[in-house]
Amino acid sequence: MSHPYDYDVVVLGGGPGGYVAAIRAAQLGLKTALIEKENLGGVCLNWGCIPTKALIRNADIIRLLGRGKEFGFKFTGLEVDYRVAVKRSRQVANRLVKGVGFLMRKNGIEVIQGFGQLTDPHTLEVEGKRVTAANIILATGARPALLPGVEADGRHLLTYRQAIVQEELPERLIIVGAGPIGMEFAYVFNAYGVQVTVVEMLPHVLPNEDPEVAAVVAKAFRKYGVRLLEGTRTEAIETTDSGVQVRVKHLESGEEETLVGDQVLIAIGVKPNSAGIGLETAGVATDARGWVTVNEVMQTNVPHIYAIGDLNGRLPLAHVASAQGVVAAETIAGAETLPLDDYSNMPRCTYCHPQVASIGLTEAQAREAGYELAVGKFPFQANGKALGLGEREGFVKIIMDAKYHEILGVHMVGPEVTELLPELSLARMLELTPEEIARNVHAHPTLSEAIMEAAHAALGHAIHI
């Protein structure tokens, strides 16, 4: 690109959206710089997706060791050290962050350390230094949303960012919000012996998931000893000398209750990091809640400025940010790309035990949209591999349009179901139907056979149930 600017592309923010956008831009021959105020890899690699998965692995092992009788082993004096689990999670995160640094060097991307701010539509200022660009990709992410009047002090009131690095466990933890973050932390802390209570205002945990799926997770968590308060609103949080008091209201009965704990983890979603980065100066439009408005190729209302990832609020997930980053870079380079306008095909995963994975519409959403449905369901208790693993809870559910057999949604709960999604999202992307999935021979015994069986079931001829 010939122009009077320092760079063809400058990316603001080095999370899974930003660094991927920078790599794709550099691959396409664009002179690229990336501005990051803190850590390459962003929240996902440093404080979110990656370190939590390391902690969940520890929790899974503890859970398995508790099932010794079933598997025929016993021992005395098991000791678990949560500090080591946290240390391991930091090592995993740090290794990946170093890997991102290597990728920046390998692709000839200049990393500018510091807080970047737009000063006009083509200029960013970073710690007093001016950087100009023909195109700008904003990837500043989001931060935890808090309840009105609540400040996270890192001692009694925590966000995921503080919870992920604390090495001392509380005796009693109250979690406000039963989305993926709340449920994953509930799973980890409970495995390490913490008395956990989860408060969710909506009627069931994992409120964006199919109610049948959520019911399986809720049953498992209650069996673990986690107290789940569904349909319960958090009215007030107060810190005391000894910990916290959380006043909640059970919406169905109208009764109030005061929960007492050592800490509260607020996990009610995120809000965009759109303030203070100079959007107004550059003329970039946001909606009323601060999310930057974009089209299907991530362009803002200022055509050479793009916004990707959590900042645009389309679907705040790391893999969505990465996909958007690729589309933005390809659009800038004039390369062939695949615009993103349907986010229902984006995978949604929760990594507690049992795992949850879904794409598309829930049954209720599909009926609301006016479809006549055929639903195929297959339980893991009829799957040989799941029985061999001792993981029989859960199911695969395929929702299809009865007329054209289009796959409208897939909802899974059970062992390693997050790894089973790609076959189904690929099927939806290529407009395959359950016929093709059912005829695609799946290796035996594997968990993936449950997908084939659910496809058969949707067509009215399940084989093994």
pLDDT of residue 241: 85
Kind and range of the H or E run holding 258: strand 256-261
Domain contains 1: no
Query: Which residues lie closer than 8 Å to 305 by C-beta, 6 or more apart?
Result: 121, 135, 136, 137, 138, 282, 284, 299
pLDDT single digits (tens) 215-230: 999 999 999 999 999 9
CATH number for position 437: 3.30.390.30
Q: Does 14 share its domain with 139?
A: yes
Read off the pLDDT band of 24 (50, 70, 90).
Answer: very high
Tell me, yes or no, whether 294 lies in a domain. yes
Shortest CA distance to 160 belongs to which of 195, 135, 184?
184
Cα→Cα distances 61→23, 158, 182, 267, 420, Å: 36, 26, 20, 25, 21
Final residue in a domain of this structure, among 268, 303, 318: 268
The CATH number that applies at residue 134 is 3.50.50.60
**Predicted TM-score (pTM) of this structure:** 0.96
Structural domains in the chain (count): 3
The verdict on 235 and 306 lying in the same domain is no
| Residue 309 shares a structural domain with residue 290 | yes
* Residue 358, strand partner residues: 348, 411
CA geometry: angle 328, 329, 334, nearest 5 deg: 100
For residues 258 and 283, membership in a common domain is answered with no
Q: Is the pLDDT at 253 greater than 90, yes or no? A: yes
Find the catalytic residue in 156, 353, 405, 444: 444
Are residue 281 and residue 260 in the same domain, yes or no? no
Q: Tell me, what DSSP letter sits at residue 154?
A: S
Q: Is the pLDDT of residue 1 over 80?
A: no
User: Chain-wide mean pLDDT for the chain?
Assistant: 96
In a domain, 205, yes or no: yes
Question: 286 has which bridge partners?
Answer: 292
Rounded percentage of the chain residues whose pLDDT exceeds 90: 95
pLDDT tens per residue across span 407-443: 999 999 999 999 999 999 999 999 999 999 999 999 9
Q: Confirm whether 368 is domain-assigned.
A: yes
Residue-wise pLDDT for 182-195, tens only, equals 999 999 999 999 99
- Span 273-317, pLDDT tens digits: 999 999 999 999 999 999 999 999 999 999 999 999 999 999 999
Among the ranges given (29-33, 172-176, 338-342, 355-359), the one the predictor scored with the smallest mean pLDDT: 338-342
Are 14 and 137 within one domain? yes
List the domain range (segments joined by +) for residue 97: 7-144+271-333
Q: Hey, what are 327's tokens?
A: 């589309």
Q: Calculate mean pLDDT across residues 350-357.
A: 98
Same-domain check for residues 11 and 113: yes
Task: Note if 304 is an active site residue.
Answer: no
Q: Is the dihedral of CA 176, 178, 180, 184 positive or negative?
A: positive
Last residue in a domain, options 220, 236, 268: 268
Residues 387 and 294 occupy one common structural domain: no
Q: Is residue 339 part of a domain?
A: no
Is residue 190 in a domain? yes
Let me know if residue 211 belongs to a domain.
yes
Identify whether residues 129 and 11 lie together within a single domain.
yes
| Inside any domain, residue 225 | yes
Mean pLDDT of 334-348: 94
Instruction: Say if residue 424 is in the same domain as residue 447.
Output: yes
Instruction: Label residue 348 by pLDDT band (50, 70, 90).
Output: very high
Q: Are residues 103 and 170 in the same domain?
A: no
pLDDT in tens, 47-106: 999 999 999 999 999 999 999 999 999 988 889 999 999 999 999 999 999 999 999 999
Task: Provide the pLDDT confidence category of residue 246 given band limits of 50, 70 and 90.
Answer: very high
- Two tokens, residue 286: 């946001």
pLDDT at 106: 97
Do 261 and 227 lie in one domain? The reply is yes
**Prior bond of 354 cis (ω within 30°):** yes
Percent share of the chain, pLDDT over 70: 100
Residues 6+ away with beta carbon under 8 Å from 174: 196, 197, 198, 199, 244, 246, 259, 261, 263, 264, 265
